[in-house]
Amino acid sequence: MIAVILVDDQPLVRAGLRMILGHEDGFEVIAECADGAAALSAVAAMNPDVVLMDVRMKGMDGVEATRRLRATPGAPPVLILTTFDDDEVLSAALRAGASGFLLKDAPAEELIRAVRVVAGGDAWLDPAVTARVLAGYRAGPPPPAARGPGAAALTPREEEVLRLIGRGLTNREIAEALFIGEATVKSHVGHLLDKLTLRDRAAAIVFAFDHGLVRPDA
């Protein structure tokens, strides 16, 4: 059973999400919150598997709530709920530690898949949304110096794969670009995430930008 907390200041949005998840086997909505502060309290009290988080809310917004949540050891992954006019905050949410983005008007089947993927420890990066996030990331100010293992820990091939992840490519697209099998790409991704102690593909995108592996104008 995947335990989910819904965080959105619009009751109708929460009701729709609750209805979709409630009709699917293996999911349970254990709490609903209307702002980020309430979400932090609910997560601490209920230990969910996934948090579905809106970005634009009164009081503490979704970006700040995600940042505080992900700074807590053992915190659950956060899947950001967004619309196509949220460009300026999506890159901030990614840096704050979000594990992916889901459009609010996405089909129910996509919501189910996204929550399952994120609960399993991977990232959910819709190509259409990711492209807009990367555009905002490139337009933003230079990031602060990052800490932790550097890219020197990677093999040349792993670094090449990381550069392409930073550009928003999928495993299939990376395989085509490097003329290797998709399974080989998946293996490289797993190794580089382990070496760099990164939680998922979303964190790898942040790392690639922070360490200059992706040019701002790329």
What letter would DSSP give residue 107? -
Question: Does residue 216 form part of some domain?
Answer: no
Q: Which of 93, 117, 139 is the last residue of a domain?
A: 139
12 & 93 share domain: yes
21 & 118 share domain: yes
31 & 58 share domain: yes
Q: Which of 114, 139, 164 is the last residue of a domain?
A: 139
The domain that holds 48 is classified in CATH as 3.40.50.2300
What percentage of the chain has pLDDT greater than the value 90?
56
Token pair in block for residue 206 = 């942040």
Give the confidence band of 214 by pLDDT, cuts at 50, 70, 90.
confident
Question: Does residue 122 form part of some domain?
Answer: yes
Give the 3-state secondary structure of residue 125. strand
- pLDDT of residue 78 exceeding 50: yes
Q: Which of 93, 111, 139 is the last residue of a domain?
A: 139
10 & 85 share domain: yes
125 & 42 share domain: yes
* pLDDT for 205: 86
> Each residue of 43-53: pLDDT tens digit?
999 999 999 99
Question: Does residue 146 form part of some domain?
Answer: no
Question: Does residue 13 form part of some domain?
Answer: yes
Give the 3-state secondary structure of residue 3. strand
Question: Does residue 217 form part of some domain?
Answer: no
Q: How far apart are the first and last CA of the chain?
A: 41
Task: Report the pLDDT averaged over residues 98-124.
Answer: 90
* pLDDT for 92: 83
* pLDDT for 90: 78
Token pair in block for residue 174 = 């990376």
Mean pLDDT check: name the lowest of 4-13, 78-87, 91-100. Answer: 78-87
Strand order in the sheet with 2-7: 27-33, 2-7, 50-54, 78-82, 100-103, 124-125
> Each residue of 127-157: pLDDT tens digit?
667 766 666 665 655 555 554 557 788 999 9
Q: Are 208 and 162 in contact (CB under 8 A)?
A: yes
The whole domain housing 197 covers 151-210
* pLDDT for 166: 86
- pLDDT of residue 102 exceeding 50: yes
Q: Are 159 and 211 in contact (CB under 8 A)?
A: no
Chain-centroid distance, C-alpha 208? 15
The domain that holds 195 is classified in CATH as 1.10.10.10
167 & 135 share domain: no
Dist. CA 172–CA 181, nearest whole Å: 8
Token pair in block for residue 13 = 């949005």
Question: Does residue 104 form part of some domain?
Answer: yes
* pTM: predicted TM-score of the whole model, two decimal places: 0.81
* pLDDT for 140: 59
Return the higher-pLDDT residue of 199 and 136.
199
* pLDDT for 159: 93
161 & 99 share domain: no
Number of domains the chain contains: 2
Q: Is the dihedral of CA 122, 166, 198, 195 positive or negative?
A: positive
Question: Does residue 23 form part of some domain?
Answer: yes
128 & 87 share domain: yes
Q: Are 60 and 96 in contact (CB under 8 A)?
A: no
49 & 123 share domain: yes
Mean pLDDT check: name the lowest of 10-14, 90-94, 126-130. Answer: 126-130
Return the higher-pLDDT residue of 74 and 128.
74
* pLDDT for 202: 87
Per residue in 47-80, is it b (16+ CB within 10 Å) or e — as a string? ebbbbbbbbbbeebbbbbbbbbbbeeeebbbbbb
